[in-house]
Amino acid sequence: MDYQYLQIERDGPITTITLHRPDKLNALDARLIAELTHAIHHLRFDRQDGPRVVILTGAGKAFVAGGDIATMAAMNSIEASRFAEAGHRLCYQIEMSPFPVIAAVNGFALGGGCELMLACDLAYAADSAKLGQPEVNLGVIPGFGGTQRLARRVGLAKARELIYTGEPLSAEEALRIGLINGVFPAHELLSKVRDIALKIASKGPLAIAAAKRVLLRGTDIELATANELEIQTFGVLFGSTDQKEGMAAFLEKRKATFEGK
């Protein structure tokens, strides 16, 4: 795909995807959703040279200011459902990727932008960022998974408050309620997030992928089944070269070199 609204940069094990529609505050329209879905899908199935961590951020003043209201306003019910389905497919691609995706929230993350962030494994925000689900102000509800992922992230009571009032949060308040993982000065955000990404990239990639899968699956099943999934996955990893290397490196007091095998 010829990307019109994405800038993709590979630097060693880290791939940074920048949503680049700054004149529209990176608002999500059908084209941008399709491009990002394609990019994540391609990275997800790049078995030879795939990234170990992906950083997702936005150009200009916003991470994603929301859906593109100018295009959404004229949609009928069928078109709106298809638009929501496209947003859900995008978030599914992020969640199902074997590598962690870190949201570097450089500005507004409202509506669909907050939902996109919620699909990421980790989220760090600039101290000037604003986050929230203001869809009720437009007479609708979150459509890209916000009613479900937000409640799982911050609890049902707080999710109700945020969705019912439509009020945005400061970065510090978002951190306090557990919506994001950390807050940094705006000019340091990407460098700090990259440091975190590099730390994760230095670990066993098979273990990271397995942990991501078990954490995600385990939240939707009862505890005994989730624990059995953990036991099985733990055992499977002992058949990997990475496990042999990691434990040998520990015993030999050296840094492990993981190959994802």
Q: Which residue in 79, 85, 135, 161 is the catalytic one?
A: 135
* For residue 166, pLDDT beyond 90: yes
* CA distances in angstroms from 95 to 56, 90, 109, 149, 261, listed in the order given: 13, 9, 18, 11, 22
Q: Which residue in 9, 79, 95, 115 is the catalytic one?
A: 115
Mean of the per-residue pLDDT values of the chain: 96
- The pLDDT of residue 50 is 87
CA distance 261 to 209: 12
* For residue 1, pLDDT beyond 90: no
Q: What is the pLDDT of residues 182-196, one digit of tens each?
A: 999 999 999 999 999
- The DSSP string of 23-82 is GGTT-B-HHHHHHHHHHHHHHHT-TTT--SEEEEEESTTEEE--B-HHHHTT--HHHHHH
Domain with CATH 3.90.226.10 in the chain: 6-201
Pairing of strands 14-19, 6-11: antiparallel
Kindly compute the dihedral angle of the four CA atoms of residues 101, 126, 194, 27, in this order, to the nearest 10 degrees.
40
Which of helix, strand or coil describes residue 123? strand
- The pLDDT of residue 53 is 97
Domain with CATH 1.10.12 in the chain: 205-251
- Superfamily covering domain 6-201: 2-enoyl-CoA Hydratase; Chain A, domain 1 (3.90.226.10)
pTM, two decimal places: 0.95
Q: What is the pLDDT of residues 5-51, one digit of tens each?
A: 999 999 999 999 999 999 999 999 999 999 999 999 999 988 778 89
* For residue 256, pLDDT beyond 90: yes
CA distance 162 to 16: 30
- The pLDDT of residue 181 is 98
Q: What is the pLDDT of residues 77-112, one digit of tens each?
A: 999 999 999 999 999 999 999 999 999 999 999 999
135 labelled catalytic: yes
Phi, psi of 130 (to 5 degrees): -125, 135
Confidence tier at 208 by pLDDT (50, 70, 90): very high
> Is domain 205-251 in CATH 1.10.12, yes or no?
yes
